[in-house]
Amino acid sequence: PGVIWMDMARKYGRLADPANNKDHRVSGFNPCAEQSLESYECCTLVETYLGRHDSIEDYKRTLKFAYLYAKTVTLLPTHWEETNAIMQRNRRIGTSMSGVADFADNNGMPVLRDWMDEGYKTIQRYDNVYSEWLGIRESIKMTTIKPSGTVSILAGESPGVHWTPGGKFFNRTIRFSNDDPMLPLFRMANYRVEPASESPDTTSVVYFPIKSGSNRSEKDVTIFEKIALAAAAQRYWSDNSVSVTVSFDKDKEKHHVGTVLHMYDGQLKTVS
């Protein structure tokens, strides 16, 4: 189950900033709940990776190109007149960041908050400059945290505001068709290969050993720390929303779920 605070989505951008009511027309969210949307509106997402940068200045340079990509996409018309009208009015984009949990573990929360705050102000400045240059409206909202369960794997980063499932060392499983020419090669290289439990006649599962830059896995982190990281991202970075699925130990933490939702009422827009 998930929770959406529509009043927060309509009244606020980043929660570190005063209420502005820019999004008073919002009627819902995209399926992963990182973007508040009007009916017929597009998400326009782009992703950046905190851990792939040596300094805040290096990250700001990445944000410039990420912002320009997303803003340019809003210039392209769709086949729906209703969508075009809303996109022209709102110019909503979702510049996302991943690797948040790993970055916080490796550098500390104060540094993470600084990068988020500085990064947001950088995008805000670019939006002022380029919207005037392009002769279009400034974006109603510009930043987000997407779940990034798949895309972040390519960069070797923790997904969105989540900790990695396996920590520093773990096996990542990938499914292959039984007639895939790669399967015999995996077996020759002594990778672990098993029939898929739900479709053994057509599919095999290959186990790939992973060494990541993560210090902790999802199971090593409490429900309180997980939701606190999402709230920090909602406060200092995302003016749209933060897509977060807060996992918990059903034996040790189940009774804390209600308390956690009460504690963070007014500090998030969405949570699952």
- Distance of alpha carbon 113 from alpha carbon 108, whole angstroms: 9
Q: In terms of DSSP bridges, do strands 169-177 and 143-144 run parallel, antiparallel, or are they unpaired?
A: unpaired
Interhelix angle for 56-73 vs 109-134, to 10°? 40
Query: How is residue 145 annotated by DSSP?
Result: B
Query: How is residue 163 annotated by DSSP?
Result: P
Catalytic residue among 34, 47, 157, 218: 34
Catalytic residue among 32, 38, 43, 218: 32
Question: Quick one: 216 exposed, middle or buried, by C-beta within 10 A (0-12, 13-18, 19+)?
Answer: middle
- Distance of alpha carbon 87 from alpha carbon 74, whole angstroms: 7
- Edge to edge, what strands does the sheet with 143-144 contain? 45-49, 94-98, 143-144
The answer to whether residue 42 is catalytic is no
What would the two tokens of residue 244 be?
Answer: 């977060």
The answer to whether residue 32 is catalytic is yes
The helix (H) or strand (E) run that includes residue 97 is strand 94-98
* Cβ(127)–Cβ(119) below 8 Å: no
- Edge to edge, what strands does the sheet with 192-195 contain? 169-177, 203-211, 192-195
What would the two tokens of residue 265 be?
Answer: 């009422």
Amino acid at 100: V
Q: How far, in Å, are 10, 14, 183, 202 from residue 34 at the CA level?
A: 14, 13, 37, 35
- Positions annotated as catalytic residues are 32, 34
